[in-house]
Amino acid sequence: MVSLKQTYASVRQAVAWCYRGGSISAEPRINDRIRVPEVRLVGPSGEQVGIVPLAKALELAQEYDLDLVEVAANARPPVCKLMDYGKFKYESAMKAREARKNQAHTVIKEMKLRPKIDPHDYDTKKGHVVRFLKQGDKVKITIMFRGREQSRPELGFRLLQRLASDVEELGFIESNPKQDGRNMIMVLGPHKKKTEAMAEAREAQAARKAERQGVSSDETAEAPAEEASAEASAEAENPEA
């Protein structure tokens, strides 16, 4: 429950912000900060209590050891609910954090190649592109021309087409190859959305964790059986013992 001291501290902070030109807090008014003669009260379990005087609502809040929170200030009269405001704020923060965690942000990765790239280097670069596309990210492929290579743009075009063909199961050409000064650029987009890729990654991680726990449990269960077998063998070899 939010104490009266904490309530006064919040009011002082809001006033200070106003004098400094800051914005007024968007948090709802609670307890003694509510300044209306009567409210439409909602109980702790969501039950409708009805329209009651503010003093009665505050009395019920103290009786239940809860806070009186204004949840609909524009209603006439305002709607207030009995709740543990500290717990409510904590749960709201956790939900917002989880929502941000699951929010998908498509990232554009970049991979640079040379027109006459070594086969081994090409496979390495292609592996990175595959990983990026599996993660649901776009990939900007840049072919860098140097010296006389600038007179052979078809080499870069063929290399980009080859790469796009090699990863066509994971991505598609979102931006066709185009010359940009000494470079040639192409953008690949993933077939899977970022949210789908994140969900699959979490499922795979959970499966690996469950598999490791299962192996650990099996080893723990096998250990007593092996010990019992060893003891039985020892007794058979030494019957007098």
| pLDDT given at position 67 | 92
Residues 2-15 have a mean pLDDT of 51
| pLDDT given at position 231 | 57
- Answer whether 0.75 is exceeded by the pTM: no
The answer, yes or no, to whether residue 185 has pLDDT greater than 80, is: yes
How many Cβ atoms sit within 10 Å of the Cβ of residue 66? 20
Alpha-carbon distance 134 to 198, whole Å?
Answer: 9
Residues 47-89 pLDDT 10s: 898 999 999 999 999 988 999 999 988 888 999 999 999 998 8
Q: Kindly calculate the radius of gyration of the chain based on its CA atoms and give it in whole angstroms.
A: 33
Alpha-carbon distance 202 to 16, whole Å?
Answer: 45
Residues 194-215 pLDDT 10s: 777 777 777 878 888 888 887 6
| pLDDT given at position 235 | 54
Instruction: Give the E-state strand segments of the chain in sequence order.
Output: 38-42, 48-53, 67-72, 79-83, 108-113, 138-144, 171-180, 183-190
Whether residue 47 contacts residue 39, with contact meaning beta carbons closer than 8 Å, is answered with no
Please give the single-letter amino acid code of residue 79. Answer: V
How many Cβ atoms sit within 10 Å of the Cβ of residue 240? 3
| pLDDT given at position 241 | 44
Residues 121-136 have a mean pLDDT of 93
| pLDDT given at position 195 | 73
Alpha-carbon distance 233 to 154, whole Å?
Answer: 76
The answer, yes or no, to whether residue 177 has pLDDT greater than 50, is: yes
Whether residue 188 contacts residue 139, with contact meaning beta carbons closer than 8 Å, is answered with yes
Alpha-carbon distance 70 to 29, whole Å?
Answer: 6
Omega prior to 44 cis, within 30 of 0 = no
How many Cβ atoms sit within 10 Å of the Cβ of residue 23? 8
Averaged pLDDT of the chain: 80
| pLDDT given at position 27 | 81
The answer, yes or no, to whether residue 175 has pLDDT greater than 60, is: yes
